[in-house]
Each structure stands twice: as C-alpha cells, then as structure tokens.
Amino acid sequence: MDLSIIGSGYVGLVTGACFADVGHNVTCVDNDAHKIEVLRAGRVPIYEPGLEELIHRNVAAHRLRFSGSIKEGVDNSQIVFIAVPTPPQSDGSVDLSFIEKVAREIAGVLTDYRVIVDKSTVPVKTGEKVAESIKRYNRHGAKFDVVSNPEFLREGCAVHDLMHPDRIVIGAQSEHAADLMKKVYEPFMAPILVTDINSAELIKHAANSFLALKISYINAVSAICEASGADIEKVADGIGMDQRIGRNFLNAGIGYGGSCFPKDIAAFITISEKLGVPFSLLKEVQHINAAQKERFLKSIRDTLWVLREKKITVWGLTFKPDTDDIRSSVAIDLVGDMLREGAQVSVYDPKGMERAREISEIKSARFCENALDAVDGAEALVIATEWEEFANVDLAVVKEKMTTPIVFDGRNLFDPSTMAKVGFRYHSIGRTPVTPD
Ligand code: UDX
C-alpha cells in the first residue's frame, strides 16, 4: 500500500521504516528541512538500535523516501499518518497545535478520499477535533475518514516493538477505513482490536498510566523493603510469578522518566479533571515517582554526610538504556541536584553525552570519555541508567580507581554480595546496604 507519515521523529521514522520493511511504499514527511536533508544523505538523526540498517535497506529498495512537502505525502498515499509531537504545557495539558496545523495543511491539499490516521499520543476526543478541522479547511470537498491508531513502541527497542506488536488498536468510525487499516497491519500478524475513536485514544493514555502505576507501586514497596530488611528483587519475583500480575515493569529504581510517561500521566490527569472525573490515583503515582529520587538522594547524603566538594561520578544520563534520549531523565535531575549542592560531578553515558552537554543545569559537570575515566579519584559512584556496558565493567579496576569505593546503584544492576566481595560499600534500591567482606 502507499502510505505517508507526517512527522519524522521517533515514532514517525521507526513506523515509516517498519511499514516499508514489510512491503509498503512509504513517504516520510517533516517540516524540518535539515532533518530531511540528513535523512536523504543516508544519516539517521536519532540513535535507535537497528533503525539505521532498516532505513538504508528500504531506501535502497525504493520503498522509503523522505520529503519536506505534506502535499507530496498526501498525493502519493492512500493513508496519511500523523506522528507529530504533542508536547506538555505547564498546566499538564497537551499542546495540540502541531496536530491542528498538520490537519489544516492536509485538508488544504486533499483532492481524493484519504484515511487520516492519528498516531501521536493525544487526549480522548482529539480525533473529533481533527475531523472537524479537516472538514472546515477541506477546499476541494474531498471525502475522508479519521482513524486513531495509537503507538505502543518503547525507545531502545522500538524496531522490535513495531515489528512484533502485542496488539494493534484501530479506532475508526467507518468500516471502510478500518478495513484499509487492517490491510496495512496484515503483514505484522498481530491481534487487531477495532474500537471507536474515543476508546482508541483512551487506551493509549490508560495503558501508559497503568505501566507507570506498576513502576510506582514497586518503588513504594521498595521503600518498605528498605525499612524492613526485605529484598525488593525477591518480592518483585514473587509478585510477578502470579500470571495475573506479571514480572514486567516491576523493576524498582530511581523512578520513571522519558518523553512519554511523565507527560502522558499529567495529560490523563488533566483530561479526566476536565471531564469532571478527577483521577487522583495518578497524582499519587506522580508523587511516589518524585519521592523515589529524593529517597535515593537522601541515602547518598546520609552516607557521604556533606556533598559539597565531594567527587561523585554518575554513570548513565539517558532516561533508560539503548537510547540517546535524555528528555525528563531522572539521571539528569540527579546530576543537577548534586551540582547545586556543591558536589564535583563527573558523568559518562554511552550514547547520551552529546545531548546532555546542551543542558544548562549540568553544564558544570565533567563530561568523561569512558566509564573508567569517569571514576578516577571518585569518592562515590552513582549508577543512574542500567546500560549493559556498566554491567560488564571490571569491578576490581573500578574499585582501584576510586578514592573511596562507595556505590549507589539506582537501578539494581549489581548483586550486593558480589559488590561486598570486590570491596565496595554498596547501596541499592529496596535491598539492605552491604559493606566490604
Ligand atoms: C513507554 C511505553 O512503554 C510505550 O509503550 C509507549 O509507547 C511510550 O512510553 P518508553 O518511555 O520508551 O515507552 O520506555 P519504557 O521502557 O516504558 O520506560 C519508561 C521509564 O520507566 C524509564 O525511565 C524506565 O527506566 C522506567 N522503568 C521501566 C522502571 O523504572 N522500571 C521498570 O520496571 C520499567
């Protein structure tokens, strides 16, 4: 099928490349001329495992092309996907101005029937507004259908998630549009759920909020583990073995971050308030998430006493491993907090350094070439993101390089007894701290 994707960010680019890989002809559109130039030159503006290879393969096969023109995208496709940003506003609501603008622009160039699909994460009832807007600016009176088709991919494994989805959600008001959408997804061989547009939009916010709730739940339990001497890893295993609950997303840590969870939960709280049914449970989820970082900071302060002038190394700046994305990263917040308290912070991340250098709050940190350089002379090591590179490091060398071998592991990357054997004083989340054997 001929498809176009308006917006070539994380979701748009990965979706476009995967659609092309299963045999569709795809035009990825973006209004950032530089980005289109970069993509046409064979470079990929984001780091996402497997994406570059996928793009190269499909560009070479002439199934994937890039354009700066919405008209070109709309003219050359039966189905037009909208995948533009929906950034948060200060009151927690979502800025829908990019979607509104794209809807207007699509309407202006619409000459024949098209299915217009919203893939961006939006509050419930946005599809109705998109349809209204297209109808209003539809100069040629062309027929169209609006569909909601939320995306559930995770950064760092986006290509895998898109190629092997748990489910496809299609919110449509016409059978014809739903049938066309089913054809798009046929090659993915995943279960397809067809709903009305409002339900599809709600599924996305409700799913992300539930996952965040699961993380906050286990983080709240981790605090009880610390107070009682229980082990959060064992507790999570024990809970997760119940198939009704499942072990996924029960990893305790310093809290969730990223471009989705914090924004989507705030948006879900705001839209439910607007609808007159406040969702106070989600406020508690937010509260626990913020408290988790504070509890971690407190354990660092309790151990080091004063942070001023302390040489502290932070491994990991991205909001999760296998991405270069540092948006709403708890790791960045932690570095900022420690710098403000006067600590001398050295940082290293396998992929996030370039973007992190641009964050003014952490400009005064020392940006290091590699994980071992970063710990040279350190009085404490903080692990903020669970990159595999850190898990595979030679711990004996790390210990030798540090002035005082104290580790604060915010992602439970290491086994406490191993750390004690190597000679570390080791603090982690929801587990009893250990001292050298
Ligand atoms: C999320 C959803 O998973 C995805 O379905 C949706 O499309 C977009 O939002 P993403 O933000 O890319 O994806 O990453 P995810 O793997 O969900 O992690 C989000 C945050 O939660 C990270 O900061 C991660 O470290 C944290 N997390 C995740 C935990 O603290 N514990 C866990 O058990 C899982």
Work out whether the CA dihedral 47, 50, 54, 56 comes out positive or negative.
positive
DSSP character string of 248-307: TT---SS---SSSHHHHHHHHHHHHHHTT---HHHHHHHHHHHHHHHHHHHHHHHHHS--
Measured in Å, residue 259 CA sits from the centre of ligand 1 at 9
Q: Do domains 2-195 and 293-427 have the same CATH topology?
A: yes
Q: Which percentage of the chain shows pLDDT scores above 70?
A: 100
Question: What's the average model confidence in pLDDT over 384-397?
Answer: 98
Strand (E) or helix (H) holding 4? strand 2-6
Q: Which atom of ligand 1 is nearest to the CA of 330?
A: 23
Residue nearest to atom 20 of ligand 1 (CA): 256
- Domain chopping of the chain, boundaries: 2-195, 204-285, 293-427
Q: How many residues does the chain have?
A: 437
Q: Which atom of ligand 1 is nearest to the CA of 11?
A: 7
Residue nearest to atom 15 of ligand 1 (CA): 154
204-285 classified as CATH 3.40.50.880: no
- 260 given a catalytic annotation: yes
Q: Please give the model's pTM, rounded to 2 decimal places.
A: 0.95
Confidence of residue 69 (pLDDT cuts 50, 70, 90): very high
Residue nearest to atom 25 of ligand 1 (CA): 320
Strand (E) or helix (H) holding 66? strand 64-67
Measured in Å, residue 173 CA sits from the centre of ligand 1 at 31
Confidence of residue 223 (pLDDT cuts 50, 70, 90): very high
Measured in Å, residue 196 CA sits from the centre of ligand 1 at 27
pLDDT given for residue 437 in this prediction: 87
Confidence of residue 21 (pLDDT cuts 50, 70, 90): very high
Q: Which atom of ligand 1 is nearest to the CA of 158?
A: 12
Q: Are 262 and 328 in contact (CB under 8 A)?
A: yes
Residue from 215, 237, 263, 385 whose mutation best tests the ligand 1 pocket (most atoms within 8 A of CB): 215
Measured in Å, residue 138 CA sits from the centre of ligand 1 at 39
Q: Which segments of 68-140 are extended strands (E)?
A: 79-82, 114-118
Measured in Å, residue 256 CA sits from the centre of ligand 1 at 7
Q: Which atom of ligand 1 is nearest to the CA of 207?
A: 5
Distance separating alpha carbons of residues 367 and 410, to the nearest angstrom: 20
Distance separating alpha carbons of residues 434 and 426, to the nearest angstrom: 5
Measured in Å, residue 148 CA sits from the centre of ligand 1 at 22
Pocket residues for ligand 1 (CB within 6 Å)? Answer: 151-155, 208, 211, 215, 249-251, 253, 256-258, 260-261, 319-320
Distance separating alpha carbons of residues 171 and 325, to the nearest angstrom: 29
Q: Which atom of ligand 1 is nearest to the CA of 259?
A: 11
Architecture of domain 293-427: 3-Layer(aba) Sandwich (3.40)
Residue nearest to atom 3 of ligand 1 (CA): 154
Work out whether the CA dihedral 353, 354, 356, 362 comes out positive or negative.
positive
Q: What is the side-by-side strand order in the sheet with 425-427? A: 366-367, 344-348, 311-315, 380-383, 406-409, 425-427
Listed in sequence order, the residues at least 6 apart from 129 whose beta carbon sits closer than 8 Å to its beta carbon are: 96, 100
Q: Could you report the per-residue pLDDT of 256-312, keeping only the tens digit for each? A: 999 999 999 999 999 999 999 999 999 999 999 999 999 999 999 999 999 999 999
Confidence of residue 315 (pLDDT cuts 50, 70, 90): very high
Residue nearest to atom 9 of ligand 1 (CA): 260
Confidence of residue 433 (pLDDT cuts 50, 70, 90): very high
Residue nearest to atom 16 of ligand 1 (CA): 154
Among residues 18, 28, 260, 368, the one annotated as catalytic is 260
Question: What's the average model confidence in pLDDT over 361-381?
Answer: 98
Residue from 201, 256, 317, 330 whose mutation best tests the ligand 1 pocket (most atoms within 8 A of CB): 256
Q: Are 92 and 56 in contact (CB under 8 A)?
A: no
Residue nearest to atom 5 of ligand 1 (CA): 152
Distance separating alpha carbons of residues 159 and 165, to the nearest angstrom: 10
Distance separating alpha carbons of residues 260 and 333, to the nearest angstrom: 17
Rg (CA), the chain: 24
pLDDT given for residue 52 in this prediction: 96
Measured in Å, residue 215 CA sits from the centre of ligand 1 at 9
Domain 2-195 has what CATH class? alpha beta
Q: Are 81 and 15 in contact (CB under 8 A)?
A: yes
Measured in Å, residue 209 CA sits from the centre of ligand 1 at 11
Q: Does residue 344 register a pLDDT over 90?
A: yes
- Indicate the average pLDDT of the chain: 97
